[in-house]
Amino acid sequence: MKTRFAPSPTGHLHIGGARTALFNWLLARNQNGVFVLRIEDTDALRSEERFTEDILASIKWLGLDYDGEPVFQSQRNHIHKTYVDKLLKSGGAYYCHCSPQRIEELRARALEAKDKPRYDGHCRELGLGPAPGAVIRFKKPSSGTTSWVDLIKGPITIDNDELDDLVLVKADGLATYNMAVVADDASMEITHVIRGDDHVNNTPRQILLYEALGLSIPQFGHVPMILGEDKKRLSKRHGATSVLAYREMGYLPQALVNYLARLGWSHGDQEIFSLPEMVSAFNLQSVGKSAAVFNKNKLDWLNSHYIKETPVPQLAALLKPFLSARDALPPNEEALEKIVLTVRERGKTLEEMAQKAAFYYTKDLVLNPTAAKKLLGESGRKSLSSLKEALKEIPNTHEDFDKILDELAKEHGIKKGELAQPLRLALTGETASPGLYDILVILGADECSKRIDAALKYQE
């Protein structure tokens, strides 16, 4: 078995493309087959090197190792030409000298008549040869049907008279999409073509090319599209769609891969899969025939799970750039790992963890003004003054800290929460945070004293 993922570098790798890559990878690995990456960069006007780099970085981040080096379609025109020459010699293709203006007129007349635009075969039997501006067209069968059993959708049949004598080689001498794909898949011995269902219309055209060339036809499977929660095709209006945008938002690759695998594929009621488990369980029979709906809440839940499962030193290394971006990086790894222990249960993403941890080393702590107005009245300031005195040294244990709170609450005739909340605000700037004792230990007595002083001097 040999599968391929063949993106075009005309944009960032998006979620739908990543899932297609994943399904191809899983299928190949499940069958001890080969998975190749082919960059279809023949659209010179729209292809960009930065998008190629984005695709390669995305595939690497997701952990989808491909066999061999990436193949670039733009470097294979000589191979495409050999297949075109074979079609010309066998009478399966012909030169067309029709001008672009004539083709446009045919298209306009068809649209006006509410007909499907297609070439009228004007040059089909003229026996023309090469000429400036000429293209090469496929001489498709005039009657009959083209059928295949789709590995996901089941049997599909298309009437050949619905198809066109498609252009195989443009006037610039480069093969068109369908010709290049057939030549590449055939020469690379691809056995299974798994792609998005927006390619269903290309499949009968490609099957006819395989047949005209006398080639073995690969098996085709078309994966349904991904929809937003409004049941419309997933797009930027639903949030981030590119793979690396999820990396930048603080999602872990294993969470995104797990989520994408379950987006349209099922294995009983199991939700959480390691990569080896996915490889072992994957098959196309369990891929759904209908579109899948992208649910960010479910992805967040999975990401939280993987954050909690990640060893602390590894999680600290992942969190580091997110804290650095907030100019709140701890001085050493030991301090960073202590911080991780206080926030890994509280953040759904690395970005959220950083947001909740930034107060530890932020240079200018800003108090939440609404909370300050509520908590830093006369009573709150008295509580803070008492706490400052009591916390000149950090208590040895959590229990010792609780005793201090109990004694001060009794002394002031208030509840422990009325002590804890002004302290939490002074130390973190907010009213929700990790455990107070953990914060005291990480900040240390001097920093805690400075922050309490700043809160006591706070003016609205």
Q: Annotated catalytic sites, by residue? A: 236
CA distance 422 to 388: 12
> Token pair of 197, please?
């269902």
CA distance 352 to 249: 9
Write the burial class of residue 69 (CB in 10 Å: 0-12 exposed, 13-18 middle, 19+ buried): exposed
Closest CA to 357 of 308, 304, 429: 429
Residue-wise burial string across 280-317, b where 16 or more C-beta atoms lie within 10 A, e elsewhere: ebbebeebeeeebebeeeebbebbbbbbeebeeeebbe
Closest CA to 70 of 164, 167, 184, 148: 184
How many CB atoms sit inside 10 A of residue 46's CB?
11
Start-to-end Cα distance in the chain: 69
Question: Helix, strand, or coil here: 333?
Answer: helix
Question: Helix, strand, or coil here: 133?
Answer: coil
What are the distances in angstroms from CA 165 to CA 121, 206, 402?
A: 7, 12, 82
In this structure, the dihedral spanned by the alpha carbons of residues 382, 386, 388 and 391, taken in order and rounded to 10 degrees, is: -150
